[in-house]
Chains A and B, each alone.
Chain A
Amino acid sequence: MEVKQISVFVENKVGNLAEVAKVMSDAGISLHAISLADTKDFGVLRLLVDDTYNAANVLRDKGYIFSLTPVIAVATTDEPGSLYDILTIFDEADINLEYLYDVNTGKKDKVYIIFKVSDNVLAQNILKKKGVRIITQEEMSE
């Protein structure tokens, strides 16, 4: 049920992000989500795409260094407090949150949030028990 995220090493230089985006669009790959964690010198660019396999091949050909990271995608409403509820669930189960970011679905009532946590299996089981809807890779592309 996990979603495969592509994490790409980028130097913190003007134009580097645009270059990755261009590599993707040239190969006909659509980006669902893009998020950057950066330092002074470098960054890790996190991507969710419609064709992970193809994207990985394209990046490898272009000489990028990247890894595939399983993350959890959750559907929520944009009501206030819904993110807080999920974070509380993790907290109570002693699951560490490494980072999170949201996905622009283009629809007002549909919000996906991506979580990278210390234990994916445990996190998914607990979320399911609490009635939180987990999104699959296929649903992501719909």
Chain B
Amino acid sequence: MGNYFQPEIETASQEQIKEWQSERLVKQVKHVYDNVAMYRERMDEMGVKPEDIKGVEDLHKLPFTTKDDLREQYPYGLLAKPLSECVRIQSTSGTTGRRVVAFYTQHDIDLWDECCARAIVAAGGTNEDVVHVCYGYGLFTGGPGLNGGSHKVGSLTLPMSSGNTERQIQFMTDLGSTILCCTPSYAAYLAESIHERGVKDKIKLKAGIFGAEAWTEEMRHDIEEKLGIKAYDIYGLTEISGPGVSFECSEQTGMHVNEDHFIAEVINPKTGEVLPDGEKGELVFTSITKEAFPLLRYRTRDICILSRKKCSCGRTHVKMTKPLGRSDDMLIVKGVNVFPSQIETVLLNKGYAANYQIIVTRVNNSDNLEVQVEMTPEMFSDSVAEIEKNEKELVGALKAMLGIYADVKLVAPKSITRSEGKAVRVIDKRNLYQS
């Protein structure tokens, strides 16, 4: 058993959760149909009336929402409340095309904060804790989300935002931060920096809540060991609210979805067919309590598996695996599917750091995959032959994992670009999707 922020909700029976979901979905569909032209038109086209939706079992009758829809409806197309009732926007760091802007009423902020509070409590947080938030603040949801959650728990909140490692470590030691919230790559970077400065003894961290980018079990062990903490995963997306859509518990075998607010489905990404629990497919969310920016069946592009197996923490909400890949991050190189997480696994197994960059180019109509890897003190040797021997082994292991040859290039430490604390993992120079 564990600690809960809202025990009566987090450990409710699955029947009770279903009842809440059905009741809220019916209400939400009506709200959306009445206030959002895009949904009204789509439902009319499909011949679905709000009255046809009587509970969660009717969810599959509703239209999907895609990222493209969000871009097309920018900025106000999907707004379901008057602006006078909205108090905040957040936005995603889009790399192509228009940004996505999400709106929040105070009610929406409160429920989001509650979701984050559940995650902090699941990681062992109480009002005695010092929560060190070095996710970016601003349009990015990471900082504001965990900040709000920490307030709800009553912990002392350090709104550090990202960057300025020197200051992060100083506050961490001077104010005795106990829970660290940031991206896993920044956590790994901080761990390295703390190690380098020899100040590990002055750090009081006991747990970390890391999300907003893909990371592996190996990376988790690496961070846990270096910082002497338990590292918890958290999942979320701006379109649905922000971090805290789901979060990990003490079992660390998947993230509980906050099902009283978000209904999760897994679908076949090609056909849109709903898949049973336990099958791998694209994760889809419907937000059933949000007022300002409620989305129906939003396709996340994350590939996941849902599980309703009983969890030792006592929570009853469905668990999702961490994203096993992204249908749009997946690279096709020489006709082979390549997921960055596969490359990360190999690097960590071979003793390299998880800081890498994948560069795909096309020369004379032939794809070329280059993996840039940061050199670490452990892998460095005075002997060029020794370094080259390790490099060859890495190339062999990558070939075994990916099925294709990847060129490895060793680069100087900390030379791989980071933006908002997020490492840029893939650079595809082939321009395959030129518009």
Partner of B380 from A9, A37, A39 at Cβ < 8 Å: A9
B9 at the interface (CB under 8 A from A): no
CB contacts (< 8 Å) of B377 on chain A: these are 65, 67
Number of interface residues of A (CB under 8 A): 22
- A44 contacts B410, C-beta separation under 8 Å: no
Rounded to whole angstroms, the CA-CA distance of A39 and B415 in the bound complex is 19
- B410 contacts A41, C-beta separation under 8 Å: yes
- A38 contacts B384, C-beta separation under 8 Å: yes
Main secondary structure of the interface of A (DSSP, over half): strand
CB contacts (< 8 Å) of A7 on chain B: these are 380, 382
CB of A114 to closest CB in B, whole Å: 12
CB contacts (< 8 Å) of A5 on chain B: these are 382
- A63 contacts B414, C-beta separation under 8 Å: yes
Rounded to whole angstroms, the CA-CA distance of A66 and B387 in the bound complex is 13
CB of A57 to closest CB in B, whole Å: 12
CB contacts (< 8 Å) of A11 on chain B: these are 410-412, 415
Sort chain B's interface into a size bin: 10 to 19
- The residue on B at minimum CB distance from A5 is B382
- A98 contacts B383, C-beta separation under 8 Å: yes
Partner of A39 from B196, B384, B411, B412 at Cβ < 8 Å: B384
- A44 contacts B384, C-beta separation under 8 Å: yes
CB contacts (< 8 Å) of A9 on chain B: these are 375, 380, 410, 412
B278 at the interface (CB under 8 A from A): no
Rounded to whole angstroms, the CA-CA distance of A42 and B412 in the bound complex is 9
Rounded to whole angstroms, the CA-CA distance of A43 and B410 in the bound complex is 10
Rounded to whole angstroms, the CA-CA distance of A10 and B415 in the bound complex is 12
- B382 contacts A116, C-beta separation under 8 Å: yes
A69 at the interface (CB under 8 A from B): yes
Which residues of B from 361 to 414 have beta carbons under 8 Å from A?
375-377, 380-384, 387-388, 409-414
- B412 contacts A67, C-beta separation under 8 Å: no
- B409 contacts A67, C-beta separation under 8 Å: no
Rounded to whole angstroms, the CA-CA distance of A40 and B412 in the bound complex is 14
CB contacts (< 8 Å) of B383 on chain A: these are 44, 98
CB of A53 to closest CB in B, whole Å: 16
CB contacts (< 8 Å) of B413 on chain A: these are 63-65
Partner of A69 from B376, B382, B388 at Cβ < 8 Å: B382
CB of A63 to closest CB in B, whole Å: 6
- A37 contacts B196, C-beta separation under 8 Å: no
CB of B206 to closest CB in A, whole Å: 29
Q: Mark interface residues in A57-71 (1 if CB within 8 Å of B CB, else 0).
A: 000100111110100
Rounded to whole angstroms, the CA-CA distance of A37 and B388 in the bound complex is 12
- B382 contacts A46, C-beta separation under 8 Å: yes
Given contacts A39-B388, A42-B387, A44-B387, contact A67 B382 (CB under 8 A): yes
- Identify the B interface with A (CB < 8 A): 196, 375-377, 380-384, 387-388, 409-415
Closest 6 CB pairs of A and B: A7-B382, A69-B382, A37-B384, A65-B380, A9-B375, A42-B410
Could you list 15 examples of A-B contacts with CB < 8 Å? A7-B380, A9-B380, A37-B384, A39-B384, A42-B410, A44-B381, A44-B383, A44-B384, A63-B413, A63-B414, A65-B375, A65-B380, A67-B377, A67-B380, A116-B382
Given contacts A7-B380, A10-B412, 11 further A-B contacts (CB under 8 A): A9-B375, A11-B415, A37-B384, A41-B410, A42-B411, A46-B382, A63-B412, A65-B412, A65-B413, A67-B377, A67-B381
